[in-house]
Amino acid sequence: MIVESQFKPAWWLKGGNLQTCYPSLFRKKSLPNGCWKRLELADGDFLDLFIAEPEAYAGDYTSENAPIIVLLHGLEGSIHSSYAHGLLSQFVKQGWGGIQMHFRGCSGEPNRNARAYHSGEIEDFTYVLNWLIEQYPNRPVAAVGFSLGGSVLLNYLGKKRQETRLVGGVAVSVPLQLDISGARINQGFSRAYQKMLLDSLREKIRNNEVLLERLQLSKQDVDEISSFYHFDDKITAPLHDFASADDYYQKSSARQYLINIEKPTLIIHAKDDPFMTVEVIPTEAELSAEVTFELCNSGGHVGFVSGNNPLQPEYFLETRIPQYFAQLFER
């Protein structure tokens, strides 16, 4: 089902680029109370989690029935992303636990193996969910993903169908067709976002000898990567056993899996998202009965800033997402 969103963009932040840039550039960050947990993996690598819990559960919350929501960040995101701070704080206010899962290499420490993360990689997320269910068997678990993290979540839900204890999810600003998004972000002002993200990605590769050796690339080779398509063709595809960037895009684009989702899922998307074009928006026929596609005329990429007072901006996602989860948990 495709529905029109109630989101109204702030009058002083018109257009997708302003909506996109404002939160990351100007929002004050306030990390909720929490702790770090490292999960050691069978392949010798690790995943880092940041766990935020209501104070009432801080001592012994394993016996509680409060829901837990796993947050999946976007490309090169982390617990320090502005949306992570705000949303985890809202979850805690609701009396829920919030967990920021960091994809490999995104927690501030290089990973050990010649492996990274990508839009269709669901094994690590599956591992975290299984760990959570084992640790807290009485607590319902849901998930929210932003951009690339939303792609991971939708891939997971579409492939697992009913074979998951996840009660539902929310995905925001997802590049549902990776080929379209890769082409769009290499055009116009959007190339500024591409450059910022590629700078971070290239630095990680340059500083990781394990990855360089596995890829048989020099640091100069990495420096010459100038687009997401080039990066995915030279780095993402060979690291994760895809034949090429095109093969990766075809197999990992989440749009094809939406029809298979059997858990309640909300997708929030803006028409003016500068990371993609309106061509990525699915039709009603591509959505399963469990998927609600909430379409906004504006909002940018993981922006969705509203309010009449520039000194007190409002963040729509931090109201809409908890509202959806509250209804889900009541069910």
pLDDT at res. 187? 96
Shared domain check, 193 and 172: no
Q: How far is CA 184 from the centre of its chain?
A: 19
pLDDT at res. 59? 45
Q: Which of 23-37, 102-116, 158-172, 294-308 has the lowest mean pLDDT?
A: 23-37
100 pLDDT above the threshold of 70: yes
pLDDT at res. 6? 95
CA atoms within 13 A on the CB side of 26: 14
> What is the C-alpha separation between 100 and 143, in angstroms, rounded?
10
| Mean per-residue pLDDT over the chain, rounded | 94
The parent domain of residue 248 ranges over: 178-252
243 pLDDT above the threshold of 70: yes
pLDDT at res. 331? 80
28 pLDDT above the threshold of 90: no
Q: Above pLDDT 70, what percent of the chain?
A: 97
Average pLDDT over residues 146-155: 98
CA distances from 6 to 9, 174, 265, 313 (A): 10, 19, 18, 17
CATH number, domain at 72? 3.40.50.1820
Give the number of domains in the chain.
2
Look up tokens 């600003």; give the residue: 173
Average pLDDT over residues 81-95: 93
pTM above 0.85, yes or no: yes
56 pLDDT above the threshold of 60: no
Shared domain check, 239 and 312: no
Find the length of the chain: 331
153 pLDDT above the threshold of 60: yes
55 pLDDT above the threshold of 70: no
Among candidate residues 96, 111, 97, the one with its CA nearest the CA of residue 48? 111
Shared domain check, 282 and 170: yes
Shared domain check, 27 and 138: yes
Residues sharing a CB contact under 8 Å with residue 48, sequence separation 6 or more, in sequence order: 36, 37, 38, 39, 102, 107, 109
Shared domain check, 285 and 206: no
54 pLDDT above the threshold of 90: no
Residues noted as catalytic: 147, 273, 301
Asked if residues 155 and 122 have their Cβ atoms less than 8 Å apart, the reply is yes
Top-confidence residue, 165 or 288: 288
> What is the C-alpha separation between 315 and 152, in angstroms, rounded?
23
Among candidate residues 121, 123, 174, the one with its CA nearest the CA of residue 150? 174
> What is the C-alpha separation between 258 and 138, in angstroms, rounded?
28
Average pLDDT over residues 64-87: 93
> What is the C-alpha separation between 92 and 53, in angstroms, rounded?
6
Beta pairing class for 97-101 and 46-52? antiparallel
DSSP 56-89: GGSS--TT----EEEEE--TT--TTSHHHHHHHH
Final residue in a domain of this structure, among 252, 286, 305: 252
> What is the C-alpha separation between 129 and 81, in angstroms, rounded?
22
Shared domain check, 150 and 279: yes
86 pLDDT above the threshold of 80: yes
58 pLDDT above the threshold of 70: no
For 258-279, how does the pLDDT look when each residue is reduced to its tens digit (9 = 90+)? 999 999 999 999 999 999 999 9
Shared domain check, 62 and 7: yes
> What is the C-alpha separation between 185 and 73, in angstroms, rounded?
19
Shared domain check, 220 and 305: no
Average pLDDT over residues 293-299: 98
pLDDT at res. 61? 42
Look up tokens 């500068």; give the residue: 274
